[in-house]
Structures are given as C-alpha cells and as structure tokens.
Amino acid sequence: MEELIPIVLFLCIAGVLILRPISKKLGLLLEAMARERTTAPQRTIPEVQIERITSSLERLNNRLDLVDDRVAFMERLVEERPHRRLTG
C-alpha cells in the first residue's frame, strides 16, 4: 500500500503539469467567447440596415453588369447584320 503513495503523487503532479496549460487556454477561450457575446448585441439597428443595404446594392450592381453585357452583345449582333430583321 505504501508503494502506491509515490505513484499517485507522481500521477497527480504529471496531471497538473499536463492539464494546467490546456485548462488555462480553455479558460481564455471561454472568456473571449463570453466577451464576444456581450459586445455583439451592442450593434445598433442602423448598422444592420447599412449592411443589408450594402449587400442589396452589390447584388443590384452585379445584375446591372449582366444586363449591360447582354445589351452590348445584342447591339453588336444588330450592328454586324444591318440587313436582317429581328422578328419575334
């Protein structure tokens, strides 16, 4: 029974040496996540609306670029074949 005392002591010291850095990093991570949660709701409604408007304007700009490319393509087709009529 007395032989188990040094083994248990060694295991306890090894466990502390191995698990302390891991638990410290985990604690810092949890603290950062808690801090992020408390700061995230402070975003004001106008910031959210500005982001939504910005994304909508970007989509609209992409669609206008596509329409512009299609119109330019049709204009080139019409200019290349002036004698042909376009019928629908």
pLDDT tens for residues 21-33?
899 999 999 999 9
Alpha-carbon gap, residue 31 to 71, rounded angstroms: 55
Each residue of 31-46: b (16+ CB within 10 Å) or e? eeeeeeeeeeeeeeee
pLDDT cut 90: percent of the chain above it: 36
81 pLDDT above the threshold of 70: yes
Q: Which of 69, 46, 49 is nearest to 57 (CA)?
A: 49
38-72 pLDDT, tens digit per residue, is 876 556 678 888 899 999 999 999 999 999 999 99
Q: What are the tokens at 17? A: 């040496």
Alpha-carbon gap, residue 81 to 14, rounded angstroms: 85
- Residue 5's pLDDT band, with cuts at 50, 70 and 90, is confident
pLDDT score, position 85? 61
7 pLDDT above the threshold of 70: yes
- Angle at CA of residue 83, ends 78 and 84, nearest 5°: 65
